[in-house]
Amino acid sequence: MGLPPATTIVFVGLPDGISIGLDTFFLQSGPTLHGIRLVGPGVHTLHWSHGGPVDSVARHGVFFIGEDESVVSCRWDANSEEMQVERHVCGQCEDVPTLEALHRYYEGMLEYEQLQQAYGSNTSGGHPRVEELDEHGAAPSDVRFTWSQQTAEIMGEDIARVLPQKSQIGMFSADSMIATTADARELDAQLGHESKEKTGESFEVLNFAEIDLKTAWRPGAIGMQRTLDYLDRSWCLEKVIGTTAGSMRGFVAELELAFAIFVLYGNVSCAAQWRRAVTLLVFSETYATGPHSAAYLGVMEVIERQLRVMPSEYLTEVVGDKYVRGMFGTLVEAVCTGEPPEDRWFSGGPEGARLRSVVEAIVRLLETRYGLEGVDGGEDFSPRDWR
């Protein structure tokens, strides 16, 4: 027989007290939590943690694409004390326990829309609050962060390209993931931790586009071209875009995916990838002011939305407050405050006005949400500071 419309998540045999998350919504497993129904199309992530305080235990999870008449079955394995996740699509499911739970509890399951209405963007159980701010930094109750806004460009092909595939059913694990071995060594050193290589812990390598900030100019550049390439990394941005489905949409999708894994899973490797992407954008004047100015404005609007919801300590401690000041201060000087005005990226026109508006909104967020005053380009931030 066919399955219910949209995607249904079914919980089978979960012990009480497991922190369950779907996208940005968090719940606790218990005798009345049997599943979530009517999960709409688009990318979603189901994640969980158990065995200790939420903020001190690693979260595990999967990403999936919402489809009509599909089921995500989550069954607790008491022997391994792990969640077993399977996905059933095209209206077909032969797993008896899943079908029994689906038919018995479907009408009483939470609806995805109910989560949005009841919880908005708030989280519980020790998680940071994730919500939008108004222009003054307040958090009005009628302004809600929506998962779809933060993942608007992510498609199934992006999930398949970036995340390591765990099985043939299109499910991906989001735990123990790291961009590169070099990232593991660098980030652990920054945080004062022992290298993952030395501890012998295993991890999976993500396939985010490589953003090489250390190469100062493109191959074959000589003379003045080297200087121009060093100051303007648009050539590098074009190269990266060529590996992200060949479009700025793919680049933005990877930016959104890195942000989601960073914020929801606390993955510092994805924090580094996000930081590299933003740094590259800040130093891409030709791309920002040329034929691609509309696309550049669009990705800066994505970053502004992300800064509305990123937990404060994630930006100031993991990304680094000094780095943030230098990175966005450089953008402020290039777009808004540089002297003389004719040296700014846009000396006038509607494109410049719109970009200035977005950059000014970012500055307000840095001041009101993150307590970073004076982000005005006064600090030196040259390529030697990039990482």
Do residues 16 and 7 make contact, with C-beta atoms less than 8 angstroms apart?
no
d(CA 3, CA 103): 10
d(CA 82, CA 22): 17
pTM across the whole model:
0.84
Predicted confidence pLDDT, tens digits, the chain (387 residues): 567 889 999 998 888 888 888 998 888 888 888 999 999 999 999 988 876 544 546 778 888 889 898 889 888 888 887 888 888 777 677 777 788 888 888 888 889 988 776 654 443 333 333 333 333 333 333 334 578 889 999 998 998 888 876 533 445 555 556 655 456 556 566 656 554 444 335 566 788 998 989 899 999 999 999 999 999 999 999 999 998 888 899 999 999 999 999 988 888 888 989 999 999 999 999 999 999 999 999 999 999 999 998 999 999 999 998 899 999 999 998 898 877 777 788 766 787 889 999 999 999 999 999 999 888 766 667 666 665
Domains and CATH numbers, the chain: 7-127 (2.60.34.20), 211-385 (1.25.40.550)
Do residues 198 and 245 make contact, with C-beta atoms less than 8 angstroms apart?
no
Q: How far is CA 51 from CA 58, 155, 249, 267, in A?
A: 10, 33, 39, 19
